[in-house]
Amino acid sequence: MENEQVAVIAVKDLHFAYADAAEILSGISFSIKAGEKVAIAGPNGAGKTTLLLNLTGLLPGSGQVTVNGMRLEKKNFPAIRQSVGLVFQSPDDQLFSSRVFEDVAYGLIYQGMGKEEIALRTQQALEEVGMASFEQAVPYHLSLGQKKRVAIATVLSMRPAVILFDEPTMGLDARAKKQFLQIARTLSQTVLVATHDMRLAAALCSRLLILDEGHLVYDGPLQSALQDTALLERHGLDRDW
């Protein structure tokens, strides 16, 4: 019981299947404490994205999920979505306004915040990702790296307790990857990163979850997983970096 108090995310026996398809998540259980930075790795199609969507209630899995002490159920969705931010794999899914500013302010407007507060938070979030000068830019004409940073700002502006990243470094060049790492490292929030990028995982996280075919096959220190070449190879992960 006491353990559940400190857990920001607690997942117990989570099952999920898309309509008329095989089970994608088969009995996942884990819990994450406040301030932890955890990587979720696993081969393509393992169910990482599906798991993240389940944690926000966007997909309705069965099992027990608590986020920030709240059961994941419909009446809690507004509160939960204020405390969990998800950065999508493709920033094109996340940026839909005609100005960067509006996209970053979007969630705040829906929280019914005052204008000064919105302007302030938006500014801060953009500064945190180094995009302050792009406030009036058109989101879909930015480069991929810039889009990804703005996408992060749309989540940061809401000041969530937990941030979920889906493949944050995919498609980025070495410099943009480093920039992401810098941003992620300074976050005080609980962070969950779904990635194939073991270099990123190692630089950011101390704990690793490995997901394969809907099962959680490893949950432990990242460093010891890195030593276990057989384990990594078995689950399509690469230690060569």
Ligand X SMILES: Nc1ncnc2c1ncn2[C@@H]1O[C@H](COP(=O)(O)OP(=O)(O)OP(=O)(O)O)[C@@H](O)[C@H]1O
Binding site for Mg ion (CB under 5 A): 49
The closest alpha carbon to 4, from 69, 62, 50, 82, belongs to 69
Residue 154 in the binding site for other proteins (CB under 8 A): yes
Phi, psi at 99, each rounded to 5°: -135, 145
The closest alpha carbon to 67, from 3, 16, 10, belongs to 10
With CB cut-offs between 5 and 8 Å by kind, which of other proteins, ligand X, Mg ion, none does residue 7 bind?
none
Residue 84 in the binding site for ligand X (CB under 6 A): no
Residue 50 in the binding site for ligand X (CB under 6 A): yes
Shortest CB 150 distance to other proteins, Å: 13
Residue 21 in the binding site for ligand X (CB under 6 A): yes
With CB cut-offs between 5 and 8 Å by kind, which of ligand X, other proteins, Mg ion, none does residue 46 bind?
ligand X
With CB cut-offs between 5 and 8 Å by kind, which of ligand X, other proteins, Mg ion, none does residue 50 bind?
ligand X
Distance from C-alpha of 237 to C-alpha of 162, rounded to nearest angstrom: 26
Site for other proteins in 33-62 (CB under 8 A): 53, 56, 58
Check the CA dihedral 182-67-25-154 and report its sign.
Answer: negative
Q: Which residues pair with 71 in a beta bridge?
A: 66
Shortest CB 107 distance to other proteins, Å: 3
Our CB check for Mg ion shows the closer of 101 and 165 to be 165
The residues, any chain, with a CB within 8 Å of residue 22's CB and separated by 6 or more, are: none
Which alpha helices (DSSP H) does 77-134 contain, by range?
Answer: 77-83, 91-94, 100-110, 115-128
104-126 burial, b at 16+ Cβ within 10 Å, e below that, comes to bbbbbeeeebeeeebeebbbebb
Kindly tell me which residue out of 7, 36, 47, 72 binds ligand X, with binding defined by CB under 6 A.
47
Interface with other proteins by CB under 8 A: which residues? 53, 56, 58, 78, 81-82, 84-86, 88, 90, 92-94, 96-99, 101-102, 105-107, 109-112, 115, 118, 138, 140-141, 154, 158
